Amino acid sequence: MSVFRRAARRRGTPADYLVVGLGNPGDKYLGTRHNLGYEVIEAIAQGSMSSLDASKRDLARIALITQDENRIVLACPTTFMNLSGEAVSLLVRRNGIEQSSRVLVVHDELDLEPGRIKIKQGGSTAGHNGLKSIRQHIGTDDFVRIRMGVGKPPDPQNGRDWVLRRPSPTDRALLDSAVHVGVEAVKTVMASGVEQAMNEVNGRQP
């Protein structure tokens, strides 16, 4: 039985959306490129006057908010990036998420320049270990991605070190602006659908 079918059998009021920001827990990783997903989720929570509370049973910091009558679970997995799927699968089941299109994942993207954002649903994970883990654990890649550009390293072989470093002041300013756009991108997906959000966001320049 798929994770979504199990979720459909859950008792109680289900959530309408699960919005996940990818990153690594701990002060060591604060402000790194890999934690850009965390930053977007934290900004959404702050804007909703909510706090993300650590939940061992959910393997994440979570908050429950409401937008346009939608019940939304915000989550920052605390499993470390490469095991993000463990938390996402658990959260899908626990919150009764019945469709992969109701799972939104915000993550850093090497293939986009710093500050650039693109939305897509499904498709390749482009080597992103967090996305690979999610696909493995929920059994599909047909979830929505909010891809937050961080740019490529000068040496293509140093991608792992690059995402675990903090960006330059110039890039940091671009990423700070992108976080605000990422928040609006998430809200637009939920309010108007993926296609409308793509039309509004994907062509924007940093």
The active-site residue, picked from 34, 107, 137, 180, is 34
Contact 102, 142 (CB under 8 A): no
Per DSSP, 29 falls in state G
Which of 197, 20, 33 has the alpha carbon at shortest distance from 118? 197
What gap in Å lies between CA 110 and CA 42, rounded to an integer? Answer: 21
Q: Catalytic residue at 34?
A: yes
Beta strands in the chain (DSSP E): 17-21, 53-55, 60-67, 70-77, 103-109, 117-121, 144-149
Alpha-carbon Rg for the chain, nearest whole angstrom, is 16
Determine the Cα–Cα distance for residues 80 and 177; give it in Å rounded to an integer. 25
Q: Which residues are catalytic?
A: 34
